[in-house]
Amino acid sequence: MYTILKKELLNSNEIYLMEIRAPWVAQRGLPGQFVIVIPHDKGERVPLTICDIHPERESVDIVYQVVGESTKRLSMMNEGDRLYTMVGPLGRASELITAPQQEQQEMRLLFVAGGVGIAPVYPQVKWAHSMGIHTDVIIGARNKSLLFFEEKMRAVCDNLYVMTDDGSYGEHGLVTTKIKSLCSTPEGTYSSPYTHCVAIGPLPMMKFVSLLTKEIGLKTIVSMNCMMVDGTGMCGACRVTVGDKIKFTCVDGPEFDGHLVDFEEAGRRLRIPDRERYRIATVDGQGGHRCNLSDAVAASLQRQKPQEQDPVVRAGNFDEVSFGFTPSQAVAEARRCLHCKKPMCVTQCPVSINIPEFISAVAQEDFALAAEIIAHDSSLPAVCGRVCPQENQCEGSCILGRKGEPIAIGALERFVADWNREHNPSSTPAPVAASNGHKVAIIGSGPSGLACAGDLAKKGYSVTIFEALHHAGGVLVYGIPEFRLPKQKVVEPEINNLRHLGVEIKTNVIVGKSLTVDDLFDRHGFEAVYIASGAGLPKFMGIPGETLGGVLSANELLTRTNLMHGYDKEYDTPVYLGRRVAVIGGGNVAMDAARTAKRLGSEVTVIYRREQADMPARREEVHHAMEEGIQFSFLTNPEAFLGDEQGNVRAMRCIKMAMGEKDEKGRRKFSPIEGSEFEIEVDNVVVALGTSPNPLIKSTTPGLDTESWGGLVADPCGQTSRKGVFAGGDAVTGAATVILAMGAGRVAAKAIDEYISAKS
């Protein structure tokens, strides 16, 4: 897979063509769409527009220019080598291709291409030629040596016009010079012979083409593929203003109405950050130090406290904060349990772990038995033991907590899972039934999808998970930082446990693009589909200045850092941060973003419009953030982001808030204090205000009902409006916790089993 079948240097400006074997993309790719290429295991996600498709060879052509470390590494690869991965097809196909047939028959097209933009224009011209549509093409470059695809383009268009800035080849002048010539009348006015213009190339070229065609009255489509970063819209870095709306290039584009695009703003966002103001943030700090204390911890009625890294030390590294219980601490803590006749901790656990039983096994020092008991109900114990809000669930209902401190259920779960991983690395997580011959597809490898897959696999189902990213784990790998949830040590072994159960995981498959839900049923023979695609589209505030340089979503910061290892000098993906970083929000994601920025060397302030007691983040995370030196500005709400002359954010205009009476949900209302406006100087703003489901699946699945805010409609068992299609987790509820998503996955697994059994 992803073998380089052909490599060709197209010109002296280090522009290369590669033909890559990519069956998924070749089957479904259309002109105007793009792919994400990762050349090597530490490379960036590089977005590249498809420039030709060869279904018979199961391959696609990509064209790229060497501009950074990842494309440099790509240029050093040769025929026969394999890319680390390729994801696609992504984005929307050209609107010309999806237009009604009647409209296509009346089209007369003008394509304008410059620089590397010549490549993505070619497949659209080729399509128009196949449809018998009159097509003229203008290609431009600074000089002859920078041109390519001339003969290929000439073979599929009616007229080809070549322009060079220096007149060394073709006609002398800019591409706009030729547009004026083609659209001018003898009387000196404009009259366009074309219905559409498509312009793809450098941002300044597309800007001036759009300004001219607006004057002419010629509808113009531009490709903003230069804005793309992760390819899924998850990070929000691809946002661009089109008319009066913010669009995500990776999801809504890459093509937009050129007359509505704010090119000035896009240009500012594309500039390489000023190295005097922003640095590529990496970590050079030493790993955490663990004190050499004796394992002999006396049994006590007081709750055991696991050791942690010193706050000053850990604020400079990405090592896990807590070291977890020692065996003697775990036993001592387990022996505090009262073994209630009606254990509320079980009913408050979203996945219904038999908590008293596993704690009893720990108290008897039978850690292997404790692991078996947990595995019966949870596929991700090492994860849940670390990141679940036990204080609001199992521990929150513990009887001991009424007069003292509850049992440290989460820490015990983590201890058992870690002990089992270290002492029984090859053990089967739970008994597996014989194959029942039925196939179930799961979309998304986050906690909900993994939990559903685990339960179904134990019942004998053949389960395949389709994951959009190049690593499985969903939010566990891209959203939660290493210092809270180690990836190689914790997440990968948990996912491998599912593989041992027989679950197949296919990465780099974007359902809705690579294939559809209907394809899963009709072409691949799945009998049920569980949609656990999460809520990965970041929300912004909708206030002035959000598109300034230096304003980013928490998703972007965390994805660059967690998934792409941006803090590690050995990896290609950069993380640009200035000295002063403000994080807006009060949830766990805000704490993760703030603590990440702190570790990358910034001075961090969390901005939250309510009081500390109202913060939805876990108390432990807020406590850790404060210990690490992060500042908090409560009862503060941003009103606008203010920019400097270069288009970068320099400050936030905020207003102080006052708390009032409680609303119908029991939460206190707040209101701005008139005349309390003030400014906070910043170099970066990280917006951590939640996420919403990606609209891709709902837009490609007929008959799938959704809520007004984008969530999928499902009944309590996960059944959607489509027969055989189930959904759960954040895709249904919006952003929530790992354990609630897992609970939804387990409920859906039971419903899917009943659905298929009834059919059989």
Q: Please tell me which residue, 233 or 212, carries the higher pLDDT value.
A: 212
What's the per-residue H, E or C state across 82-103? ECCEEEEEECCCCHHHHCCHHH
- Which structure tokens are listed for 379? 């596929």
In 107-185, the DSSP E strands lie at: 108-114, 134-141, 159-164, 171-172
pLDDT at 295 over 50: no
pLDDT tens sequence across 159-202: 999 999 888 899 999 999 999 999 988 887 888 899 999 999 99
| Beta pairing, strands 85-90 & 59-65 | unpaired
Residue 286: the pLDDT is: 47
Please spell the DSSP secondary structure of 28-41, one letter per residue.
H--TT-EEEEE-ST
Choose between 28 and 286: higher pLDDT.
28
Tokens matching residue 717 = 């068992």
Ramachandran angles phi, psi of 234, nearest 5°: -65, -35
The segment with the largest mean pLDDT, out of 137-146, 451-460, 686-695, is 451-460
Alpha-carbon span 201 to 149, nearest angstrom = 14
Q: What mean pLDDT is reported for the chain?
A: 89
Can you tell me the mean pLDDT for 38-57?
89
Please choose, from the candidates 592, 674, 668, the residue with its C-alpha nearest in 3D space to the C-alpha of residue 630.
592
Quick check: 299 pLDDT over 50?
no
Going by DSSP bridges, is the β-strand pair 580-584/603-607 parallel, antiparallel, or unpaired? parallel
H/E stretch holding 126: helix 118-130
443: pLDDT strictly greater than 60:
yes
pLDDT tens-digit series, residues 355-386: 999 999 999 999 999 999 999 898 899 999 99
Q: Is the pLDDT of residue 516 over 80?
A: yes
Stronger pLDDT, 668 or 593, i.e. the higher one:
593
Quote the DSSP letter at residue 272: P
CA distance linking residue 726 with residue 531, whole number of Å:
6
Residue 569: what pLDDT?
Answer: 85
pLDDT of res. 292? 40
Q: Is 737 exposed, middle or buried (0-12, 13-18, 19+ CB in 10 A)?
A: buried
Between 276 and 568, the higher pLDDT residue: 568
Mean of pLDDT values over 426-452: 86
Alpha-carbon gap, residue 576 to 649, rounded angstroms: 13
Residue 220: helix, strand or coil by DSSP? strand
In the predicted model, what is the mean pLDDT of residues 65-82? 88
What percent of the chain has pLDDT above 90? 65
Sheet holding 134-141, edge to edge: 171-172, 159-164, 134-141, 108-114, 196-200, 219-223, 255-257
Handedness of CA 329, 332, 334, 338 (dihedral sign): negative
User: Rounded CA gap, 97 and 142, in Å?
Assistant: 31
591 Cβ contact list (under 8 Å, min separation 6): 606, 617, 618, 621, 622, 624, 625
